[in-house]
Amino acid sequence: MHGMISGPPEAATKTIATSRAVLLLLVIMTGIAPISLYMLVPALPVLATNFGSDISIAQMTVSLYMVGIALSQLIMGPLSDRFGRRPVLLGGLALMVAASIGCIFAQNLPQLIAARFFQALGGAAGMVVSRAIIRDIYERDRVASMISLVVAALMIGQMVSPLTGGLIETAFGWRAIFYAITIGAIIVAVGIGVALPETRRTRAVGSSFRRDVGMLITNRAFVGYMMCQVLASQIIFTFAGGGPYIVVTQMGRSSAEYGAWFATTGFAYLVGNLLCVRFAPRHSLERLIWLGLGLQLCGSLLNLLWSVTGSNEAPSWLFGTQMIVMVGNAFVMANSAAGAISIRPEAAGTASGAMGFLQQGIGALMSQFGAYLGGHSATTLPLTSAVLAISLLCACTMIFVVPRREVVVSEELIEQAEEEETGMM
């Protein structure tokens, strides 16, 4: 492979792939940004009171944090392809530590909001780079199962992080939350420095961000898988945006009851990821996507039917059926993400970053759209119609955009194609 920058040898890659320490690091790297987001949520009323501001201003510590996550996906992915996974991860965590210290010493809400933005910008490097590392060290047919395993473990952390943040704030004050985040980021950085070698794939001389982007956006398979993954994620954002208004305003239930019902969808998504881990080694990536799409469509169609008949005006019907959608959603998101980052393994960071940016950026808009549908209607019909429409669009990308494969694309075929492409340049 003349003209290539050498990557980790095959034996070393296999050792990395079987390391429990590396798997644990992947989980923590993926989770440090979203867990840091949810840890502060219980303290928002306290922030508003302490700084004498409206709760909507305190809410910007969350909304601007999400903007930071979205921008980080777009920036850190290509940087990891260019400079390697380790330097970008360590640089991102260094920025997160510095920003977290800034949060500790913030004297007003604008300072805190700005520091939170940079905290997300650095911390979210782990989200995008972890997917690239998974593609670096695992074969294509195992990528989806490993992404699902990491997400499943991450979701457990996300479920307990609001409780953890609330307990820390109650016992020690809101600034103690940022002490905990700072210590956590330092521990993760040390773990990466000690246990995670460089995993970036070999790259041709002359490779660049512009060339990677150009080859990805002109590849039908990448565009199709990416659209499928991004659209599937919008089901979550749309339903989460409209759910509180439907349960609290339309159904007259408490916000605590809504939280309990919404947790059932998170549990269903967790179950879907665990099932994906189990099925992925024995079934092709495309087959698992179609299984997920079928579950999404069946669940969303049933919920629309319950809306027409008025049955899902009770939370048990609405969320019970949405759980079917979420199990399927887990299959679609993990496997379509695996497909997208496998198109050009040496540009896995760029592909992962593009997906993450679109997912978070469009998600912010769809969350607002879901809130509008839930808050400006007297029934669940508009929201369930939107979820069905997104499910249909998701299926259409697989039908009309992703090329149909006559053969299963193996790791050997991918490497052969890369060698032929390199030889032509």
- CATH placement of domain 211-418: 1.20.1250.20
User: How is residue 404 annotated by DSSP?
Assistant: P
Tokens of 198: 């460089």
Rounded to an integer, the average pLDDT of 226-255 is 87
Rounded to an integer, the average pLDDT of 71-87 is 88
- pLDDT value of residue 265: 87
Lowest mean pLDDT among 3-17, 20-34, 38-52, 167-181: 3-17
Whether CATH 3.40.710.10 fits 4-205: no
- pLDDT value of residue 421: 42
Strands 4-5 and 203-204: antiparallel
- pLDDT band, very low/low/confident/very high, at 6 (cuts 50, 70, 90): very low
d(CA 299, CA 317): 11
Distances (CA, A) of 85 to 68, 77, 202, 360: 20, 9, 12, 22
Contact by Cβ (8 Å): 165, 294 = no
Domains 4-205 and 211-418 share a fold: yes
Q: Is the pLDDT of residue 112 over 80?
A: yes
Tokens of 334: 């993990």
Lowest mean pLDDT among 226-240, 250-264, 346-360: 250-264
Summary mean pLDDT of the chain: 83
Instruction: State the residue for tokens 């910007």.
Output: 60
Q: Is the pLDDT of residue 425 over 80?
A: no
**CB-CB neighbours of 101 under 10 Å:** 16
- pLDDT value of residue 204: 52
Q: Please, which residues bridge with residue 4 across strands?
A: 204
Whole-model pTM: value is: 0.74
Q: How far is CA 105 from the centre of its chain?
A: 30
DSSP structure string for 230-284: HHHHHHHHHHHHHHHIIIIIIS---HHHHHHHHHHHHHHHHHHHHHHHHHGGGS-
Rounded to an integer, the average pLDDT of 396-403 is 92
Lowest mean pLDDT among 68-72, 237-241, 387-391: 237-241
Q: Is the pLDDT of residue 103 over 90?
A: yes
d(CA 230, CA 311): 30
- pLDDT value of residue 256: 67
Distances (CA, A) of 339 to 137, 193, 224, 417: 15, 29, 9, 16
Q: What is the pLDDT of residues 297-337, one digit of tens each?
A: 999 999 999 999 988 788 889 999 999 999 999 999 989 98
Residue spans per domain, the chain: 4-205, 211-418
Tokens of 236: 């979550």
